[in-house]
Amino acid sequence: MTATTVLFVCIHNAGRSQMAAGFLRELAPDIRVLSAGSIPADQINPTAVEAMAEVGIDIAGQQPKLLSTEAVKESDVVITMGCGDACPFFPGKRYEDWKLDDPAGQGIEPVRVIRDEIRGRIEGLIASLHPRS
């Protein structure tokens, strides 16, 4: 049996999608995690890196990646965060769109709020992928 693959997509792949990927990797190591952006930034948002480090998750080594059709095809679950029509759609995939504020240009306090909201959504996602018997 192959592992479930989850793809997180946002515009720049520098904040929201990277924080979500970091939480899912940490909280559910049996799930394969991908993240990408429709217009990737040059680097991860340093405030997102700082906010995640505060909860013991290091995303500093991640690099924004360009969203590819292949990444969507190989994913079971695709979670978008504001990328709109740039996200390819394939039948048979589970799609969710998480409405989250963009941490770009924000200070640490609002990014902590976004981080904590993402963590709650990740916990819900894990529960839906690992239903209790």
8 A C-beta contact, residue 19 and residue 114 = yes
| Distance (Å, whole) CA 42 – CA 45 | 9
Closest CA to 59 of 102, 13, 92, 105: 13
Tokens of 85: 């029509």
3-state SS class at 53: helix
Active site positions, annotated: 10, 83, 87
User: Residue with structure tokens 């969203």?
Assistant: 67
End-to-end CA distance of the chain: 18
| Amino acid letter for position 12 | H
Name the residue type at position 65.
Answer: K
